[in-house]
Structure 1
Amino acid sequence: MEKGVVRYGIVGVGMMGREHMVNLAHLRTDGAVVTCVADPHPPSLDLAVELARSLDSPLLAVFSDHHQLLDSRLCDVVVVSSPNMTHFEILMDIINHQKPHHVLVEKPLCTSVEDCKKVVNAANQRPDIVVQVGLEYRYIPSVAKLIGIVKSGMLGQVKMVAIREHRFPFLVKVNNWNRFNVNTGGTLVEKCCHFFDLMRLFAAANPVRVMASGSIDVNHKDEIYDGKVPDIIDNAFVIVEFDNGSRGMLDLCMFAEGSKNEQEISVVGDIGKGEAFVPESIIRVGLRAEGRTGVKTEKAEDERIKYDGLHHGSSYLEHMHLLSMLKGERLGAPAVRLTDGLLSVAIGVAAQLSIEKGRFIAIQEVLQE
């Protein structure tokens, strides 16, 4: 690694891969440089090259296969932003490659608990590489501020975490891969691993069992791809019980474009309550002793963010923190570890299974896959 410069390769340059390119371009003065990209889809590669030109980025090496990118020795870090079902094979190839490459892998880590566990075990044999999971919602300014408030103890012992995501349907992706559970892991893995990760953070505990109810009620029912109708659910309620007695609840609706906020997060402790609203970017905090009149509303901003992008600046902060770690400016483990990625997937898998079986699913039941 050239002193002060960290070279990035991106595997999968669809919408999110190109978003990573823009974020890294805004970190160029800090030493980040995208040197190569890989994608089997020629139109995506063309868009990536065009984007690099518009960003005045250095000339990109372009590959149709991630093996070629790894063998090129042109990068120090690989960002994996390819479709979910490809993560496992790509991650194992990176981890087992002779040249060490650090990794930022988009959520979900993999589409199954079994594959996540294999990645964790393989990475444990490579102490020379850092692998961070892209659960970047932790960095959204209002969410990050609420995390800090909870960790400060201001709300007391957390008892309940409620997260509402009311949003638009899934976007169209290359070859419509995200329309089927076999490719995504299911909606509660693909999208909601973010929220299960936040629940664990707020509760400061690990999941014990999960109960969910959900279905396909509005979206994608009139779509057909290669003779198949999409099977991804578009709404659900999920209850998660944690090993310290706290519980979490997710309220997901993906046909709720008429919402002021896409995410509303409530954390209630035995002393007080905190809320975060996205994209309104405000937090509210109230203590039981002060009642309704004592509730304070505050704007959440992070002046370090140079690019808001698709996720309210959280991807920028995610890259900034990882980059400073790789340059030796921050010590310790990556902010989001592989075990965090594994457990966020495990809760999602348990929720999907609960809908299918109509009963509570013990986390141990899915971790034994």
Structure 2
Amino acid sequence: MTTLNYGLIGCGMMGQEHLRNIALLPDAKVAAIFEPDAAMRAIAAEMEPQAVMANSIAEVLAVEEVNCLLIVSPNYMHLRQLEEIAAIRPLPILCEKPLFTDPADAPRLAALRAAYPAPIWVAMEYRYMPPVARLAEEAEAATGGVRMLTIREHRFPFLEKVGDWNRFNRNTGGTLVEKCCHFFDLMRFILKSDPVRVMASGGQSVNHLDEVYDGQTSDIWDNAYVIVDFASGARAMLELCMFAEGARYQEEISAVGPKGKIEAHVPGPGRFWPAHLGAPPVPQVVVSPREPKGPRLVEIPVDPQLLAAGDHNGSTFYQHQRFQRAALGQQQVEVSLEDGWWAVAMGMAAQQSAATGQAVRLDQVAYGVKR
């Protein structure tokens, strides 16, 4: 295999971002698409007129040309779709986060992980945002060993999705799973340690309060604080606010250690930046040593073509580049099923802590047993 011929499962807003980025890859194309929503299916067919428009996952897998898969369906479908693929025709898979949404499903994920014969890469785009990747690469040298890590996301509310599936915790796993598993993955990735205790406070304060679907009021949260203790002794904090779209930067990450501090400042999607303010902000990394004092700021511009292809600062493209190499056997998977499991487990622990007011130890809960 030298060319990736993707079979795409789900082609809503994020699926279409993947289509635009796959189109920028050499030796890659979309061979088949399964999208049950008529409006999204029509858009996908227009974007990829050469692709077979399938009516099921089985039909996608029956397209002989398909040699890898991309899952971009609603959260609660991911695990059963992975299991269906495993039973029919296991191929290399790039699966959007989160891997699962119900704590009771953790054993099913463990069984899949033990038996699946091909690479599965969990889509954690935030690792591949250029300023975040720079921070992760330089954090150890800049800090002398990270002891405190803070991630702040101040952004826009949840966007509308097909069938409004993202308005309910039962479909998403909860905001701290759906939205924040990216950040919990970043914590483990940057700190190179596993979490042991999670404390959180969160809720629904501003958004979706009066939204009713089929007689049910939306229960998805829009803000939270989460503190995580790690086995290494480091600690991390997440601050999420989803009614702060007026901010200059959407993500702000800081890592601090005995030698100094390093920060990444990441703007939100350029399409949301007000035109009257001129050009959107450029991502930045700032290194602030304790001695000699004097912050050093470096701008990390992103290729405009990549910015136009999606809302994630080029990270979707860079992730596909690496997945392509993994699917071709040229490198190892960088975001494994275990990584995806940890990100969900941390989010579930945070949801539980915020709901109960109690700290949650990850070695004392049912989804805390990954093997």
TM over 0.5: yes
Counterpart CA distance in 1 for 2:224 and 2:233 is 23
**Cα drift, residue 113 of structure 1:** 4.0
Match runs of 1:1-369 below 5 Å: 1=1, 4-27=2-25, 30-53=26-49, 59-97=50-88, 99-127=89-117, 129-151=118-140, 153-279=141-267, 280-291=282-293, 294-301=294-301, 306-308=305-307, 309-328=310-329, 330-331=330-331, 333-364=332-363, 365=365, 366-368=367-369
Residues 115-150 of structure 1 deviation map (CA, whole Å, 9 limit, x = unaligned): 3442243232233x1100000100000000001002
Structure 1 residue 310 displacement after superposition: 1.3
Query: Relative to structure 1, is the Cα distance of residues 359 and 142 closer, same or farther in structure 2, using a 3 angstrom cutoff?
Result: same
Q: Does the CA contact (< 8 Å) of 1:41 and 1:64 recur in 2?
A: no
Give the C-alpha shift of residue 300 in structure 1: 1.6
Which SS does the other structure have where 1:96 is aligned? helix
Describe the SS at the equivalent of 1:158.
Answer: coil
Distance 1:343 1:327 in 2: 26
Unaligned stretches of 5+ residues in structure 2 = 268-281
Q: CA RMSD in A?
A: 1.6
Deviation at 1:235, TM superposition (A): 0.5
What are the Cα deviations for residues 257-278 of structure 1, in whole angstroms up to 9, with x where unaligned? Answer: 1100000001011111000011
Cα drift, residue 94 of structure 1? 1.3
> 3-state SS of the aligned residue for 2:218?
coil
Is the contact made by 2:142 and 2:287 (CA closer than 8 Å) also made in structure 1? no
- State the Cα distance separating 1:50 from its structure 2 match: 1.1
Q: Which amino acid aligns with 2:219?
A: D
Q: Does the CA-based 8 Å contact 1:160-1:268 persist in structure 2?
A: yes
Separation in 2, partners of 1:62, 1:281: 38
**In structure 2, how many angstroms separate the alpha carbons of the residues matched to 1:283 and 1:20?**
26
% identical aligned pairs: 42
**Which residue identity lines up with residue 288 of structure 2 in the other structure?**
G
For residue 69 of structure 1, what is the amino acid of its counterpart? V
Contact 1:112 1:345 (C-alpha < 8 Å) held by counterparts: no
The question of whether the paired residues in 1 share the 8 Å contact of 2:95 and 2:121 is answered with yes
Q: Write the distance in 2 (CA, Å) between the matches of 1:126 and 1:231.
A: 35
Q: What TM-score does the superposition give when structure 2 sets the normalisation length?
A: 0.91
Counterpart CA distance in 2 for 1:72 and 1:119 is: 26
Aligned length: 352
| Partner amino acid, structure 1, of 2:193 | A
Deviations 1:183-207 (A, max 9, x none): 0000000000011111111211100
Distance 1:69 1:159 in 2: 47
Q: Whole-Å Cα distance in 2 between the matches of residues 116 and 61 of structure 1?
A: 33
Q: What is the aligned partner in structure 1 of residue 270 from structure 2?
A: none
Query: 5+ residue gaps in structure 1?
Result: 54-58
Cα deviation 1:8-44 (Å, max 9, x = unaligned): 01000101111111111111xx210100000221221
CA distance in 2, matches of 1:116, 1:42: 32
Kept in 2: contact 1:37–1:62 (CA 8 A): yes
> What TM-score, normalized to structure 1?
0.92
Q: 1:244 to 1:212 in 2, by over 3 A?
A: same
How far apart, in 2, do the equivalents of 1:237 and 1:274 lie? 21
